[in-house]
Amino acid sequence: MKRHYLIDGYNLMHAIPEIRARMKPDLQTAREGLIIRLSGFAQRKNVGITVVFDGRGRDEHSPARRPKVRVLFSKAPVDADYVIRNLIESSKTGDPLVVVTSDAAIKRAADMHRVESVDSGEFAVQMTRSADEIIEQKYNRSLTKKEVDQWMDLFKKGGKES
């Protein structure tokens, strides 16, 4: 069974400086930016993600659908924390669920139900590190002996192909 991340959306947004800076002028764009990042993470790690946002009195335009990311908005009178706690409580002990939040009450709920929790700031670093590792592997690899020989031959010829 693969891991599933349950994410406190606005909490994580505050942990990512570029996204936090976008929240005040354009909350919708900031949410979309988070969802795009989460989708990339989910695809790289082959995990599922549910991200929960407060919906009370906020702009609730549905974000574009992204692979492996489910987006939920709380409905008044409840907030996202309540929805997250209910999702934790409804999970079965031993499910590979990881809760991402910096909220102490949500972390306590996760602990009570034996669900792993990760601080939002730590998860933000993990997301970035994961993307950086992919880029590093793709673009900063060592040349094979054959590639080195081909380059050496090219340089010996003064850059002229024969």
User: pLDDT digit of tens for each residue in the chain (162 aa)?
Assistant: 588 999 999 999 999 998 999 888 888 889 999 999 999 899 888 999 999 998 855 555 566 667 789 999 998 889 999 999 999 998 875 558 999 999 999 999 999 988 999 999 999 988 877 555 655 656 666 778 888 888 888 888 665 555
- Report the C-alpha gap between 120 and 5 in whole angstroms: 12
Burial class (CB in 10 A: 0-12, 13-18, 19+), 159: exposed
- Determine the CATH number of domain 4-156: 3.40.50
Domain residue extents for the chain: 4-156
- Supply the pLDDT for residue 93: 58
Of all helices (H) and strands (E), which one includes residue 97? strand 97-100
Find, among 19, 135, 116, the residue nearest to 11 by Cα.
19
Per-residue pLDDT of 26-43, as tens digits, reads 888 899 999 999 998 998
> What is this structure's pTM?
0.75
- Supply the pLDDT for residue 88: 93
What residue has token string 């994580």?
12
> Cβ(59)–Cβ(87) under 8 Å?
no
- Report the C-alpha gap between 143 and 19 in whole angstroms: 37
Longest CA–CA separation in the chain, Å: 76
99: how many CB neighbours lie within 10 A of its CB? 26
> Cβ(98)–Cβ(117) under 8 Å?
yes
Q: CA angle 47-142-38, nearest 5°?
A: 20
